[in-house]
Amino acid sequence: MEHYLNLPASSEQIKELKVGDILYISGKIFTARDEAHHMMLEKEKLPFDPSKMGLFHCGPLMKNAKDGWHVVSAGPTTSSRMEIFEDNFIKKYKINIIIGKGGMGKKTQKALQKYICIYTSYTGGAGALAADKVEKVEEVYWLDKLGMPEAVWILRVKDFGPLVVAMDSRGGNIYG
């Protein structure tokens, strides 16, 4: 089934989604790779509220123009690298939608069920297409410390997809 979802999504909406569904999301998402996960887990206070956004495993290619930052290319990065952080991350920041590629492990699968969250797959390498769905770069955090790919970028997206629900909140897993 195809769904168009506005973020933030409610637990009820997330529960409805199951493996194989195609999703297009609108609203705010934030990028976080290994370094950002690690750093955010150690912090007590954040300058933004991740619970209202989608978590995007992505190290984007950005360009700084006169009118601010623009996304050049922004496909997903390999999600399995975040497996060591993700269950705690979901718990601490009340994440309910993850976008990545390649799938995640058992710890994350359990957390998806416990905290009502889904893992969705965006087509790896489709960075130009993803950039096309970004309406605005809202903010960037820790750019100097982490560098462009590892920094946390807050992006406002419109009909961002197709995302395939690959691991759902009921224990379903497309990767088998």
Partner 1 sequence: MIDMKHQNIIDGIVELIRKAETELPKDVIKSLEKAYKIEEGVAKTQIAAILENIELAKKTKRPMCQDTGIQTFFVDIGVDFPNILDLKNIIINGVKKATKEIPIRPNTVDPFTGENHKDNTGDYIPYITWDFVKGNEVRITALPKGGGSENMSKLGMLKPGVGIEGVKDFVVEEMIKAAGNPCPPTIVGVGIGGGADLALKLGKRSLLRPVGIRNKNKNIASIEKELIERINASGIGPMGLGGKTTVLDVHIKKAHRHPASLPVGIAVQCWADRRAHLVIHSDSSWEVE
| Chain residues in the site for partner 1 (CB under 8 A) | 20, 22, 58-61, 63, 72-75, 77-78, 80, 101-103, 121, 123-132, 147-149, 162, 164, 166, 174-175
8 A C-beta contact, residue 76 and residue 101? yes
8 A C-beta contact, residue 57 and residue 98? yes
In angstroms, give the least distance from the CB of 64 to partner 1: 9
Cβ-based nearer residue to partner 1, 84 or 148: 148
In angstroms, give the least distance from the CB of 132 to partner 1: 6
By annotation, the residues acting in catalysis are 37
Cβ-based nearer residue to partner 1, 26 or 80: 80
In angstroms, give the least distance from the CB of 163 to partner 1: 10
Cβ-based nearer residue to partner 1, 21 or 87: 21
In angstroms, give the least distance from the CB of 7 to partner 1: 20
Cβ-based nearer residue to partner 1, 61 or 107: 61
